[in-house]
């Protein structure tokens, strides 16, 4: 399986797991950290997908946020998707570097509204819009 397809499958798998645990008690620290880990690896898989896709397109970037901006500049994502993805990158950075500052209320909102599903949707849209560069 090609790398972008593998990353897309990983995002799909993490999204499915998040769907399965959507109603867990996030006031329990163990459950909260488990959900945070799933959100982190889902976001990282998406970021990796974006960076490899851009590389396939011959586009370099200076960090995760810049990668998202490059997708927007190439009309591969909308302004709303760009803003959402930049917030995902920021949230991923908070999870990775500062567990203590994660607000459980924010995580509950993400889970309740199933906002994590947008990453999978955007990944599928990228595959369609950039199919000429998908695992070339």
Residue 101's pLDDT is what?
A: 77
48 contacts: CB under 8 Å, gap ≥ 6: 7
pLDDT tens, position by position, for the chain (136 residues)? Answer: 599 999 999 999 999 999 999 788 999 999 999 999 999 999 999 999 999 999 999 999 999 999 999 999 999 999 999 999 999 999 999 999 876 678 889 999 999 999 999 999 999 999 999 999 997 6
Domain count, the chain: 1
Give the structural domain span for 127: 3-133
Question: Which CATH number fits the domain that encloses residue 37?
Answer: 1.20.120.580
């Amino acid at each position: 399986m090609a790398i972008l397809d593998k990353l897309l499958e990983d995002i799909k798998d993490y999204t499915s797991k998040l769907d399965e645990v959507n109603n867990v008690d996030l006031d329990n620290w163990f459950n909260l950290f488990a959900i945070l880990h799933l959100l982190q690896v889902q976001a990282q898989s998406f970021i990796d997908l974006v960076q490899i896709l851009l590389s396939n397109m011959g586009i370099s970037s200076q960090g995760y946020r810049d990668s998202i901006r490059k997708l927007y500049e190439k009309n591969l994502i909308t302004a709303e998707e760009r803003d959402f993805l930049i917030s995902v990158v920021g949230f991923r950075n908070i999870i990775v570097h500062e567990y203590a500052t994660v607000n459980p209320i924010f995580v509950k909102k993400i889970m309740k509204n199933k906002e994590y599903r947008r990453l999978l949707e955007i990944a599928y849209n990228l595959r369609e819009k950039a199919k000429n560069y998908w695992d070339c």
